[in-house]
Amino acid sequence: MITRLFSFKGGVKPESHKNESSGTPILTAPLPKRLVIPLRQSIRSTARCLVEPGQKVLKGEHIGEGEGGLGTSVHASTSGTVVEIASYPMAHASGLETLSVVIEPDGEDRWIDHTSLDLRTVSREEALAWLRGCGIVGMGGAGFPTHVKLGGGRGIDTLVINGAECEPWITCDDRLMRERAPDVLSGAMILRELIGAKRVLVGIEDNKPEAIAAMQTAASGLGDDVAVVPVPTLYPAGGEKQLIRVLTGVEIPQGKLGTDFGVQCFNVGTANAVHRAIRFGEPLVSRVVTLTGNVARPGNYEVLLGTQVSELLALAGPKADTDRYIMGGPMMGTELQSLSVPVTKGTNCIIAASPALFPPPPPELPCIRCGACARACPADLQPFELYWFSRAKNFGKAQEYHLFDCIECGCCAFVCPSRIPLVDYYRFAKGEIWARERERQASDQARERFEFRNYRQEREKEEKAAKLAAKAAETRAKLAESGEAPAPPAEAEDPKKALVAAALARAKQQQAAVMPKNTDGLSADVQAEIADIEARREKLNPQDADKAP
């Protein structure tokens, strides 16, 4: 199959630094002393905990049940005892904590019973549920649940398998493709079947000739519509939208899914995980992580999810002048605020940084509108305009200039001669816009509820008034029946007053029964005056009137 390659505008060519860690085979990391497995493994969803402290678990045992549309299952990475369920810091720029299950391994690493799934005997929905149960999420970093992505629809023309790995330093996908090419392609075939794609394109940057060769060998027996395509090395060719553009020419705008354009894209790590999940029934409990940078023994390790970075780093031996650690690549990764954070499904790389390898940026200078950022932007944005707007907190304008099309790849900040932390401004502006959106929704809700409450109070008042009026009318009717003079009609207009008057009349009646006779036989004028006084007295003390009957 001959594939015509397309290109995207912009992009940068940072030094690749792949050779440091790509030379050695993937080693299995030793069993850590303890595992901290966050229940939040997929984007925007925290799983519900299924275990209790003290409980024994086996490797692959279900410990967290996914909740909501974006939830996936979480599993124990090894056999052992649950010692704690508590909040631990997670690998996130905020450094916030999340509920995690702490497991003390028993050293046996004993698997729970698991069997393969025969795709021919199950429906598509069952297969997707199976993947959800195995906790499969995108392993390129974002952690989007694979079953949700697959659920997007059938009738997909092209399945893109992303082996570009465009970020410098990272080599985990490279090693995975070199060593487990048949597994990755087997996973790709399963994904293809699930979405009914006509062709499969595996995109690999051409700076990984060994991986390309291995994948091409493995793909040779799979037919003409499976192709391993070397793509030019240009960051961010591994961005999902960029790779789809390069391989198929399709441009997917922000807010749209590949499904709408007949293309879907999965990472090679995800394909491998899908292969393990379907062919062996193994849930996702480990992944390949690159340890590199300022370390003595850079390389790739098969790491159990939940292994804390501090334990992992000992394998690579960070050098003395290491001053911080970056999770992910140097273009889009985050600095770790704590070494106790665990490896999660999206952790592809940990880089030990030293001032020599990653020098702190020189002081920021004003923007000179040179346009270098616009030429580097793979989303064809005008980054400096977005910078001006974000800096001035003119968020409306920033959105008008398509702030949300920004993929935060960092190309603009990479080339900026004034060394402005451009991406920070976009992150800030996006966060503020989201916060404002949330606030707006909350205030709309509050306004609605407030207005409803006012309406309800008004209605209750009216209802009460109507009830009182009805009661007053009833009392009056009763009084009329017993031959007493009805209350003055003027007062009857106000139900409360009428009621008071009625109560008064009743009291008078009672009074008449027990009163000494010396109040008898008074003139009508005097009686009316007394009634008025009584009414005023009642008005001052309305509760009494209410209670009167």
Partner 1 sequence: MLTAILVMTGIAIVLGTALGYASIRFKVEGDPLVEKIDAILPQTQCGQCGYPGCKPYAQAISNGEADINQCPPGGEEGIRKLADLLGREVKPLSEEHGTEKPKSVARIDEQVCIGCTLCIQACPVDAIVGAAKQMHTVVAPLCTGCELCVAPCPVDCISMVPVAATVETWKWKYPVHELRSAA
Partner 2 sequence: MINSPYIRKPASVQGVMLAVLTALIPAIIVYASQIAAVVLVNLAIATIAALAGEALVLKLRGRPLAPALSDLSAVVTAWLLALCFPPILPWWATVLGVLIAIIAVKHLYGGLGQNPFNPAMVAYCAMIVAFPALMSQWPAAGQLDFATQLGLVLGGARELDAITSATALDTIKTGLRTAGATVQSIMSQGGNFGLVSGRGWEWLAPAYALGGLYLLARGIITWHMPAAFLGTLAAISAAFWLTDPAHYASPLFHLASGGAMLGAFFIVTDPVSGATTPRGKLIFAACIALVAYIIRSFGAFPEGVAFAVLLLNICVPLIDMNTQPRVFGHRGDKAR
- Please tell me whether residue 44 binds partner 1 under the rule CB under 8 A: yes
- Please tell me whether residue 319 binds partner 2 under the rule CB under 8 A: no
How far apart are the C-alpha atoms of 476 and 484, rounded to whole Å? 9
Quote the tokens at residue 159: 């399945």
Residues in contact with partner 1, total (CB under 8 A)? 35
Residues 6+ apart with CB under 8 A from 172: 165, 269, 287, 288, 289, 290, 300, 348, 349
- Please tell me whether residue 546 binds partner 1 under the rule CB under 8 A: no
- What does DSSP assign to residue 287? E
> Which 382-441 residues touch partner 2, going by CB under 8 A?
382, 384-385, 400-402, 405, 410, 413-419, 421, 423-424, 427
Residue 371, phi-psi category: left (phi > 0), alpha (psi -120 to 50), beta (remainder): left
Report the residue number, 25 or 363, with the smaller CB distance to partner 2. Answer: 363
Out of 2, 4, 15, 296, point to the residue binding partner 2 (CB under 8 A): 15
Per-residue contact string for residues 378-417; x = within reach of partner 1 by CB under 8 A: ----------------------------------------
Per-residue contact string for residues 178-217; x = within reach of partner 1 by CB under 8 A: ----------------------------------------
Cis peptide before 361 (omega within 30 of 0): no
Out of 318, 333, 342, 346, point to the residue binding partner 2 (CB under 8 A): 333
Residue 455 near which of partner 2, partner 1, none (CB within 5-8 Å, type-dependent)? none
- Please tell me whether residue 335 binds partner 2 under the rule CB under 8 A: yes
Residue 11, phi-psi category: left (phi > 0), alpha (psi -120 to 50), beta (remainder): left
Per-residue contact string for residues 452-491; x = within reach of partner 2 by CB under 8 A: ----------------------------------------
Quote the tokens at residue 78: 């090894």
DSSP string for 309-359: HHHHHHHH-B-TT--EEEES-TTT-EE-S-TTPBP-TT--EEEEE-TTTSP
Q: Judging by DSSP bridges, how do beta strands 299-304 and 27-28 pair with one another?
A: parallel
Residues in contact with partner 2, total (CB under 8 A)? 63
CB of 93 to partner 1, least distance (A): 7
Residues 6+ apart with CB under 8 A from 373: 383, 384, 387, 411, 412, 413, 415, 416, 422
CA distances from 435 to 103, 262, 386 (A): 36, 33, 18
Determine the number of helices (DSSP H) and then strands (DSSP E) in the chain. Answer: 17, 17
Residue 380 near which of partner 2, partner 1, none (CB within 5-8 Å, type-dependent)? partner 2
Let me know: does 494 contact 539? Beta carbons within 8 Å: no
Report the residue number, 184 or 420, with the smaller CB distance to partner 2. Answer: 420
- Please tell me whether residue 334 binds partner 2 under the rule CB under 8 A: yes
Residues 6+ apart with CB under 8 A from 99: 38, 39, 40, 46, 49, 85, 86, 87
Report the residue number, 209 or 431, with the smaller CB distance to partner 1. Answer: 431
Q: Judging by DSSP bridges, how do beta strands 56-57 and 74-75 pair with one another?
A: unpaired
- Please tell me whether residue 56 binds partner 1 under the rule CB under 8 A: no
Binding range to partner 1, per CB under 8 A, among 119-127, 224-232, 314-322, 448-456: 448-456
172 is in an annotated binding site: no
Binding range to partner 2, per CB under 8 A, among 7-15, 192-200, 207-215, 498-506: 7-15
- Please tell me whether residue 463 binds partner 1 under the rule CB under 8 A: no
Residue 449 near which of partner 1, partner 2, none (CB within 5-8 Å, type-dependent)? partner 1
How far apart are the C-alpha atoms of 533 and 414, rounded to whole Å? 89
What is the chain's length? 549
- Which of 367, 410, 408, 409 lies closest to 387, judged by CA? 367
- Please tell me whether residue 369 binds partner 2 under the rule CB under 8 A: yes
> Which residues contact partner 1 (rule: CB under 8 A)?
40, 44, 90, 92-94, 96, 98, 363-364, 366, 421, 424-425, 427-428, 430-432, 434-435, 438-439, 442-447, 449-454
> Which residues contact partner 2 (rule: CB under 8 A)?
8-9, 12, 14-15, 93, 168, 241, 245, 251-254, 256, 326, 328-335, 337, 353, 358, 360-363, 365-372, 374-375, 378-382, 384-385, 400-402, 405, 410, 413-419, 421, 423-424, 427
Question: Residues within the annotated binding site for [4Fe-4S] cluster?
Answer: 367, 370, 373, 377, 406, 409, 412, 416
